[in-house]
């Protein structure tokens, strides 16, 4: 569904993307995990025609982005990081405008809006002004709007940023449902649990480069399954073990206060880049 070859994006002297190549299969849920400024949003902006790449090639659903931008646009839905809804209009009107922009006819716009409001469990809010919605509802509406024209590929840029944990989990349920319904999902996040929960495959991105990619278990397996964190004056020192028993033994053999936990994607990212995803 997505094939990126050596994508470069320069802003003056700064390289936001420094030769990024990757592919995403149809039906997959793929997450870009990386700290602020890593280049995640830049990829999404390029693939959605919001900024031009400096060099490289992007194929979406077999269409070359540079040569067939409209064909690509039809295939893609985007829920951007910033809440770019019109607060003075109702929920239904926000969907209506999107449908008009994508050339959907009146009946189709109405039926599809109703269907999607039901899908994101917002039917009873159809006539509410968007400015009266909570953050979680606005995010759900952004996703409904992105799906309105039936894209085969959905981009979600930091879909749950700033939401409280319960609302975040509810959105995760919705995103999983979308993927189960056959839409390819490409999301960016700097939340470890979000990538672990939602993604079939995760790519680590750091300073505009792809550092590693694989399924979450593959990315973590290189370190082991269990971690012991030891807190000292310099910060946290972590050791990794294949089994819980080995980790427990390490704790009991050494006289320090430590915490035993499962290895996570943050460990894998840190091991590869020397940097934490969220700092």
Which of helix, strand or coil describes residue 43? helix
Does the protein bind ligand ATP through residue 189 (CB under 6 A)?
Answer: no
Shortest distance, position 105 Cβ to ligand ATP, whole Å: 36
Per-residue mark of binding to ligand ATP, 16-55 (x: CB under 6 A): x-----------------x-xxxxxxx-------------
Q: Which residue from 204, 232, 200 is spatially nearest to 215, judged by alpha carbons?
A: 200
Angle (CA) 207-211-217 rounded to 5° is 135
Q: Is 199 in the site for ligand ATP (CB under 6 A)?
A: no
- Within 99-128, the residues that bind ligand ATP by CB under 6 A are none
Q: Vertex 112, ends 110 and 117: CA angle to 5°?
A: 95
**C-alpha span between 276 and 198 (Å, rounded):** 20
Return the number of the residue (34 or 77) whose C-beta is nearest ligand ATP: 34
Binding-site size for ligand ATP (CB under 6 A) equals 11
Angle at 32 between CA 11 and CA 164, to 5 degrees: 105
**Residue 206 binding ligand ATP, by CB under 6 A:** no
Stretch that binds ligand ATP, among 9-17, 66-74, 173-181, 213-221 (CB under 6 A): 9-17
Edge-to-edge strand list for the sheet holding 209-214: 76-79, 153-157, 184-189, 29-33, 201-206, 209-214
Nearer to ligand ATP, 113 or 189 (CB): 189
For the bound state, the minimum distance from the C-beta of residue 16 to ligand ATP, rounded and expressed in Å, comes to 3
Instruction: Kindly list the residues in this chain that would bind ligand ATP in the complex (CB under 6 A).
Output: 11, 14, 16, 34, 36-42
């Amino acid at each position: 569904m997505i094939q990126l070859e050596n994508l470069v994006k320069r802003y003056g002297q700064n390289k936001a993307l420094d030769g990024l190549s990757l592919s995403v299969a149809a039906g997959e849920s793929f997450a870009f995990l990386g700290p602020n400024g890593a280049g995640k949003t830049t990829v999404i902006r390029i693939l959605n025609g919001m900024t031009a790449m400096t060099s490289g090639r992007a194929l979406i659903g077999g269409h070359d982005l540079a040569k067939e931008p409209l064909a690509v646009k039809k295939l893609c839905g985007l829920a951007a990081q910033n809440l770019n809804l019109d607060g003075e209009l109702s929920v239904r009107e926000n969907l209506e405008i999107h449908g008009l922009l994508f050339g959907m006819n009146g009946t189709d716009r109405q039926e599809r809006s109703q269907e999607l409001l039901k899908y994101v469990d917002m039917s009873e809010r159809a006539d509410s002004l968007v400015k009266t919605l909570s953050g979680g509802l606005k995010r759900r509406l952004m996703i409904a709007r992105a799906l309105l024209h039936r894209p085969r590929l959905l981009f979600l840029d930091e879909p749950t940023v700033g939401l409280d944990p319960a609302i975040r989990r509810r959105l995760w349920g919705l995103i999983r449902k979308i993927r189960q319904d056959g839409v390819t999902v490409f999301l960016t996040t700097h939340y470890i649990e979000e990538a672990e929960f939602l993604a079939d495959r995760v790519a680590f991105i750091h300073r505009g480069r792809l550092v590693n990619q694989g399924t979450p278990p593959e990315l973590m397996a290189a370190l082991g399954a269990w971690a012991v964190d030891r807190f000292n004056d310099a910060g946290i020192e972590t050791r990794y073990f294949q089994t819980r028993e080995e980790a427990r033994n390490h704790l009991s053999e050494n006289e320090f206060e430590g915490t035993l936990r499962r290895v996570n994607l943050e460990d894998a990212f840190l091991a590869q880049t020397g940097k934490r995803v969220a700092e």
